[in-house]
Amino acid sequence: MRDDLYDAVIVGGGPAGLSAALYLARARYRVLVVEKEAFGGQITITAEVVNYPGVERAGGRELTDTMRRQAQRFGAEFLLAEVEGLDVEGDVKLVRTSRGVLRCFAVVVATGAHPRQVGFRGETEFRGRGVAYCATCDGEFFTGRDVFVVGGGFAAAEEAMFLTRYARSVTMLVRRDTFSCARSIAEQVLAHEGIRVRFHTVLEEVSGDSTLRRAVFRDTLTGETEEYAPPDGEGFGVFVFAGYEPASALLKGLAELDPQGYVLTDGERRTAAEGVYAAGDVCAKTLRQVVTAVADGAVAATSIEKYALDMQRRTGLCPEQPSGPAKAETPSAAAQARDADDAGFLTAENRSQLGAVFARMEHPLILRAALDGRPVSAELRRVLEELEELTDKLSVEYLPPADDSERPCVRILRQDGEDTGIAFHGVPGGHELSSFVIALYNAAGPGQSLEPAVIEAIARIDRPVNLKVLVSLSCTMCPELVIAAQRIAAASAWVTAEAYDLNHFPDLRERYNVMSVPCLVINDEKVSFGKKNVGQLLELLAESLG
């Protein structure tokens, strides 16, 4: 990466952040987008977007991939890292990340929001055991079962329709007498033969054993309660879509927040802190949609253009300008052949990004693959061959066929053959491609930077710890936990961290009764659900290890 001074650093790689990056880069300002998980934001789990002007129909990931390519074409830069703090005093702001400190004139916080818990009895206890928050990630686990959807907004309506692909029945529990989404969406739900809607109904309690066996509903008009129990031996699912909580922790004490934690801004998306802007779902606003997020990013960017220019004049500092629109490169013969038969796993954009990561790796690595006869193994082999083509810092070894229930698998070894303890079972695609690349970077060095307190906590681990992270490639919440577990494994000889794509390992799903991802299994005993960063995972390990 070039000199670390930017006109703007954007925290968050969803539609708001990508839009701001596009506008700033096109205006020839140097801009960096920092994203801790996967670029694209919440919309990437939406199967179909039909209300974005000018685009009749597109998948959420397809839409945001296009946004990112546009921004990158004009010179925007991208970094996978976690932003840990902001120092916004003075003309030059400091953005402290897990991969070092960045300097900039302006900061845009576009960190979005995450699903809100409702608070019914049993919600926390059964999270991952029947209570879920993402239909795209977890819907398949409830194939052939009854499912209840809590909420009456756009997300609840959309996810209820998605869940009909899997569930035997879908019942929406709506507190009021009507939906709180657009009438067109409500009409689709009411007309759907696979969905039953119960208005004036709230979920009071869920209970069970290893999964949900009982639910209690209450009529908000009469106060009467009703119990539900599935057929003998079955469980059921509860999907909660009751609004979101803003990811505004970075701005606490720096900017003004409303009582719900959303960031307050003016018409140009400026916060109370000079040079600090907010855009997208993290802001206080009446409508949270892709189109409003994109508008927020554009508004913030045009305001930053004037602000950054003033800062350049005031300080005498001038970040290096982007070179302008990139020209299309002629693909290699191998790439053209892959494109011709649609066999290529890595896109041209993937290869460009990987090249930048490989250039920073300090030491070579060995990827040791254990394959079986399934098509997924052939796919993994193809991925590894493509990675090996890109750099001389990776070499691939294949183990001979064997009776191994955990195949296909790729393990990361150091150049002397020492096992790093990091492995991926299945194919590291989808949202897990980024986590696999970060694992390579952490294993080869220098790796993501760690705070002294975190290094000390890792050093206190003094006995073997095996971490299994069970994931779905469509899950936006899984990479953070995978990255955290594998970062610890890269730093400790006592820890192994192995990710599994549950789509190819149904026996693990049954063994640990997994009904939500990400699922963390510690030493084959303790099971935990939900995303966690390095600090949160170390706290959990400290509790588990005593």
Please tell me the predicted confidence (pLDDT) of residue 329. 38
Query: Which of 103-112, 136-145, 468-477 has the largest mean confidence?
Result: 103-112
Tokens of 271: 């916060």
For 387-439, the pLDDT digits (tens) are 999 999 999 999 887 767 789 999 999 999 999 999 999 999 887 888 999 99
For 268-287, the pLDDT digits (tens) are 999 999 999 999 999 998 88
The backbone torsions φ and ψ at residue 499, rounded to the nearest 5 degrees and listed phi first, read: -95, 145
- Average pLDDT of the residues of the chain: 90
For 302-336, the pLDDT digits (tens) are 999 999 999 999 999 999 888 666 544 333 444 44
For 329-345, the pLDDT digits (tens) are 333 444 444 444 444 67
Are β-strands 169-174 and 195-199 bridged in parallel, bridged antiparallel, or unpaired?
A: parallel
List the chain domain ranges: 5-114+245-315, 131-242, 333-545
Q: ∠ CA 189-192-196 to the nearest 5 degrees?
A: 75
Same topology, domains 131-242 and 333-545? Answer is: no
Three-state SS annotation for 505-534: CHHHHHHCCCCCCCEEEECCCEEEECCCCH
- Taking the C-alpha atoms of residue 515 and residue 158, their distance in angstroms, rounded to an integer, is 20
Average pLDDT over residues 138-165: 94
Please tell me the predicted confidence (pLDDT) of residue 116. 85
Please tell me the predicted confidence (pLDDT) of residue 44. 66
pTM for the full model?
0.74
- Taking the C-alpha atoms of residue 310 and residue 308, their distance in angstroms, rounded to an integer, is 5
For 471-525, the pLDDT digits (tens) are 998 887 898 899 999 999 999 999 999 999 999 999 999 899 899 999 999 999 9
For 215-270, the pLDDT digits (tens) are 999 999 999 999 999 998 899 999 999 888 899 999 999 999 999 999 999 999 99
Please tell me the predicted confidence (pLDDT) of residue 43. 67
Residue 144: pLDDT band (50, 70, 90) is very high
Three-state SS annotation for 206-234: EEECCCEEEEEEEECCCCCEEEECCCCCC
Amino acid at residue number 128: G
The CATH fold of domain 5-114+245-315: FAD/NAD(P)-binding domain (3.50.50)
The backbone torsions φ and ψ at residue 203, rounded to the nearest 5 degrees and listed phi first, read: -90, 120
What DSSP letter does each residue of 118-177 carry, written as one string?
A: ---BTTTTTBTTTEES-HHHHGGGGTTSEEEEE--SHHHHHHHHHHTTT-SEEEEEESSS
- Taking the C-alpha atoms of residue 136 and residue 482, their distance in angstroms, rounded to an integer, is 19
Rg (CA), the chain: 24
CATH dotted code for 333-545? 3.40.30.80
Residue 47: pLDDT band (50, 70, 90) is low
Please tell me the predicted confidence (pLDDT) of residue 403. 66
The CATH homologous superfamily of the domain defined by 131-242 = FAD/NAD(P)-binding domain (3.50.50.60)
DSSP conformational letter for 264: P
